[in-house]
Amino acid sequence: MRRIWISLIFIFTLLYGVETEVTVNNNISATNITSQIIMAQQKLKDLGYYNRKVDGIMGLGTKQAIMNFQRDIGIKINGKLDSETLKRLQWRWLIKLNTHDFAPFHYIVNRQIGGAIYNVVREVCIDAQINCVIDMPNNWGDAQKEVKDAIKDGLFVIGWNTKRESYLYKSDPLIKTAYGVFVKRSDNLTFNRNIKSLKNYKIGVYGPSNTSRTLKEIRRKLKEDNITIEIKVFSDNKKLFKELNSGNTINAVYSNKHVGLFYKRLYGLNNIRYAGDHKNLVYYMGFSKLTVPKELIKSFNDSLKRLKDSGKFNQLLLLGGIDISRIEEGRVINKADNTSSRFVKNGDIIQDKTTCLEWQLGGSADEISYQRALTKIKDMNSNRYNNYSDWRIPTIEELKTLQTDRRQGGGLYLDEIFNSLQERCWSSTKKDNSDERLYIDFYEGEISSKSEEDTNYLKAVRGGLCQ
């Protein structure tokens, strides 16, 4: 009978945890330990990790909930209420984020998610005191649907478009990158956004994807000029770049610059080189409008800025295989600034000595509607951007003064002293007998018009034309 009772006590201990595993100071009383367990159980219950009675007992259910929480937020998994776990349980927010396999930004490393931007997001979340649970579903479409359906709280990295704006808030820019062309090392092509230079090329691309759709749009435009290119779509980036390196079915690849350089280094593909940029792109974190408060987004953005200001951001990128030293604010840096005798760079302002106008070096970080451009101008003036309060959207005549006769080093019909991200810029000038606004396309070197609900970049101006 005595043995039976001992066995029952042992089983009870295993099931209900008479032995409490809380890492605490020896001077803390048993009452305080119980209070900590109760606090942890209640918090874990609020977060959906614990569904049993809040009783202050460190049972198996509590231990399992702690381990699941520790695993999800990326800290040591031990089932104990150690100091790090207790600290994280007291943080205000927990959000669930989806990402996708997109090396070198984020990808599977030793059966776990890793990568340059993954590490950046982790660091930002910790600094902002946000418990970020990051998952990588097998299908990117499913990952996006989970956020649309408010099952998950966010996505990264993503480009920005009107469709995503309907259900997401975007963070400040996570990284500015570029898409362009890789060729065989023996090919002397210098690709400076001149798509006609791709005539007769057999171009590989990862797809189906936005990248492959962009390349097909390039093919459509070239066809209008009776120029042909062949496209071969690959479902695996590794096979894509290995085929360019040593195969004969393609002689170019259209890809994200950093993706291509990553695979080149990873697999020692010394027979390929990067020929040049086609377009610049900004990647963001997208937060669900249904589940994420704006206060959290502000905290995330503030922490992201601190990370960049400290220099740690660039260190994390370099450790993850990304070198952004040649891309700054969407502009490829090939030579020193202030190379143009007409333009003078003064911080974030470009002074035009010919027209006496002062322009933004860059402009809006993404394409925005005309009404949002007006709002941004109002904010710039309220905040005295660069100590001035008379910024405005330029007229089409003012924008035309920036247009050059030939493509410049940045690949645009625009002096290369300016950032090349802002390819299409709003003017305040209306199209005749229409509600549309004129804009200038510095990539095509053309003037066109759009509805005010459509999007372009904003490049603000101040001052007046020389008298």
Each residue's pLDDT, cut to its tens digit, for the chain (467 residues) gives 555 544 544 444 444 443 345 554 444 556 678 888 989 898 898 888 989 998 889 999 999 999 989 988 888 889 999 888 999 998 999 999 999 989 999 998 777 898 999 999 999 999 999 999 999 998 888 999 999 999 999 999 998 888 899 999 999 999 988 899 999 999 999 898 889 999 999 999 998 888 999 999 999 999 999 999 999 999 889 999 999 999 999 999 999 999 998 898 888 898 999 999 998 889 999 999 999 999 999 999 999 999 999 888 987 887 777 866 544 333 333 333 333 578 999 889 999 887 789 999 999 988 999 999 999 999 999 999 999 999 999 998 889 889 887 777 677 889 889 998 899 999 999 988 788 999 999 888 888 899 999 999 999 999 875 54
Q: What is the CATH number of domain 93-175+282-328?
A: 3.40.190.10
Are 260 and 241 in contact by the 8 Å Cβ rule? The answer is yes
Residues of the chain with CATH 3.40.190.10: 93-175+282-328, 182-275
Residues of the chain with CATH 1.10.101.10: 2-89
Are 33 and 24 in contact by the 8 Å Cβ rule? The answer is yes
* Sheet with 437-441: strands ordered across: 424-430, 437-441, 446-450
Domain 335-462 has CATH 3.10.100: yes
Options 3.40.50.1390, 3.40.630.30, 1.10.101.10, 1.20.140.10; which CATH number does 2-89 get?
1.10.101.10
Q: Tell me if the bond preceding 104 is cis, omega within 30° of 0.
A: yes
Q: What is the pTM of this model?
A: 0.62
Residues of the chain with CATH 3.10.100: 335-462
Are 439 and 422 in contact by the 8 Å Cβ rule? The answer is no
What are the contacts of 300-308 at 24+ separation with CB within 8 A?
A: 300/124, 300/125, 300/128, 300/130, 300/171, 301/171, 301/172, 302/128, 303/124, 303/125, 303/127, 303/128, 304/120, 304/124, 304/171, 304/172, 304/174, 305/172, 306/127, 307/120, 307/123, 307/124, 307/127
Residue 413's contacts (CB-CB under 8 Å, 6 or more residues apart) are 403, 404, 405, 406, 407, 442, 443, 444, 445
Options 2.40.160.20, 3.40.190.10, 3.40.50.720, 2.40.50.140; which CATH number does 182-275 get?
3.40.190.10
